[in-house]
Chains A and B, each alone.
Chain A
């Protein structure tokens, strides 16, 4: 079956613009995660959705970052007024209850 997909694969934007990143999880996966990975760095947790529970937003770096998820399907990560330090690969993962996370290919964001 299909894995986790993300779009766009690459996004170049100007400082100050808003961007939306999309994640389509594996069908049936109740948990969905967003991570940020800067060049040469490890993964930085951003936000976690689990079923109908309130999302865990503890990793969001600022109020410019927000994310939504429609039921147990697609999720959108929005970054408002982008800054150059937002440049990174944004990875989405989904999982069933047992926590083996399946990752998408990521969206490479470049803020000029």
Chain B
């Protein structure tokens, strides 16, 4: 399983765009990149998943460069309710295998 590295914490203000980058230098060919969000006192919740280039949904965008050794979660115009911990995971979904959560990035959005 590919190991991931993320910043421990980030601060932002309401209305700003937030970009959280995750490093996964030993990502394998069949690995996908998935991001989860966790609010205090709740279990993590799936945000977005991708393999390469760019993926966008109603919540976020995921940018993956050609070498796939990193990925960037982009949250447009954050609000106070986006304050949470964000986890980057890498794993082979085609094998139905387990994913391992790292320490995550604690995002604090201020007014």
Chain B residues whose CB sits within 8 angstroms of the CB of A93 once the complex forms: 43-44
Q: A-contacting residues of B (Cβ < 8 Å)?
A: 32, 34, 36, 41-46, 49, 85, 87, 91, 93, 96-104
Chain B residue at minimal CB-CB distance from A35: B101
Contact B43 A106 (CB under 8 A): yes
Assess A97 versus B96: contact at CB under 8 Å? Given A35-B101, A42-B101, A42-B104: yes
- State the A residues within 8 Å of B (CB): 4, 30-31, 33, 35, 41-43, 45, 48, 50, 56, 91, 93, 97-106
Q: Could you list 18 A-B pairs, sorted by A, with CB under 8 Å?
A: A33-B98, A35-B101, A42-B87, A43-B87, A43-B101, A50-B96, A91-B43, A91-B44, A97-B93, A98-B93, A99-B32, A99-B97, A101-B99, A103-B42, A103-B43, A104-B43, A105-B42, A106-B42
Q: How far is the CA of A4 from the CA of B17 in the complex (A)?
A: 32
Shortest CB distance B34–A (Å): 7
Q: A100-B34, A105-B42 are in contact. Are A42 and B96 (CB under 8 A)?
A: no
CA distance A70 to B49 in the complex (A): 30
4 closest A-B pairs by beta carbon, nearest first, are: A103-B43, A43-B101, A42-B103, A97-B96
A48 to B42, CA, bound (A): 20
Tell me which residues across on chain A come within 8 A of B101, comparing CB atoms. Answer: 35, 42-43, 45
Contact A100 B49 (CB under 8 A): yes
Pairwise interchain contact B100-A42, C-beta atoms closer than 8 A: no
Which chain B residues lie closer than 8 Å to A105 at the CB level? Answer: 42-43
